[in-house]
Amino acid sequence: MSEQHDTGGIDWKTNGVKIIPGDQLDTNTPQTPGMNRAAAINFARVGAQKIWAGTVHIHANAKTGAHHHGALESVIYVLRGRACCSCVCAHRARLICVRGCKPLSREPPKHSSPARLCLSRTLASASGRCVERNNTDHPCL
């Protein structure tokens, strides 16, 4: 049985294109206090071997725990609200680029409301596994 979505009946495994509905994201991902991640694209879901993509919801007035993405590079698109990390803030419809091995904690701006982000990362290996560490103890730091 082939998996099909609103792609006009095209089998994504054959065609190489898949649409991930926003209500079908996987929350079984490493979590950091003050935020919730949900995977859309990873090895387990679509067989992706070089990228991870998903959403992040940052709670209102949350100061997230210190974390880093290892050697992975990340691109964050602010869908709603305002995202602040490492003393840099971005509003809705802005992109944030985070280099590999950069320790992060997200600080809430004054009078903060929840923020919704779209996140994409390179992967450290062909295993399709994304790195998320809830501390800054890493050899590249």
| pLDDT at residue 10 tops 70 | no
**What's residue 137's pLDDT?**
47
pLDDT in tens, 109-135: 655 788 899 988 887 654 445 555 555
- The answer to whether residue 62 is domain-embedded is yes
Domain count, the chain: 1
Check if the beta carbon of residue 12 is closer than 8 Å to that of residue 18: yes
| pLDDT at residue 38 tops 90 | yes
The H-assigned helical ranges of the chain are: 12-15, 43-46
Q: Which amino acid is at 87?
A: C
> Which of these, 77, 80, 122, lies nearest to 95 by C-alpha position?
77
pLDDT in tens, 44-71: 888 888 889 999 998 888 877 677 777 7
- The answer to whether residue 21 is domain-embedded is no
Least confident of 38-42, 47-51, 97-101, 135-139: 135-139
**What's residue 54's pLDDT?**
94
pLDDT band at 80 (very low <50, low <70, confident <90, very high): very high
- The answer to whether residue 92 is domain-embedded is yes
> Which of these, 59, 43, 62, lies nearest to 51 by C-alpha position?
43
* Domain limits for position 50: 28-122
DSSP state of 104: B
- The answer to whether residue 1 is domain-embedded is no
**Mean of the pLDDT values across residues 90-107?**
81
Q: Does residue 13 sit in helix, strand or coil? A: helix
- The answer to whether residue 109 is domain-embedded is yes
Find the CATH number of the domain harbouring 35. 2.60.120.10
**Mean of the pLDDT values across residues 67-80?**
84
DSSP state of 107: P
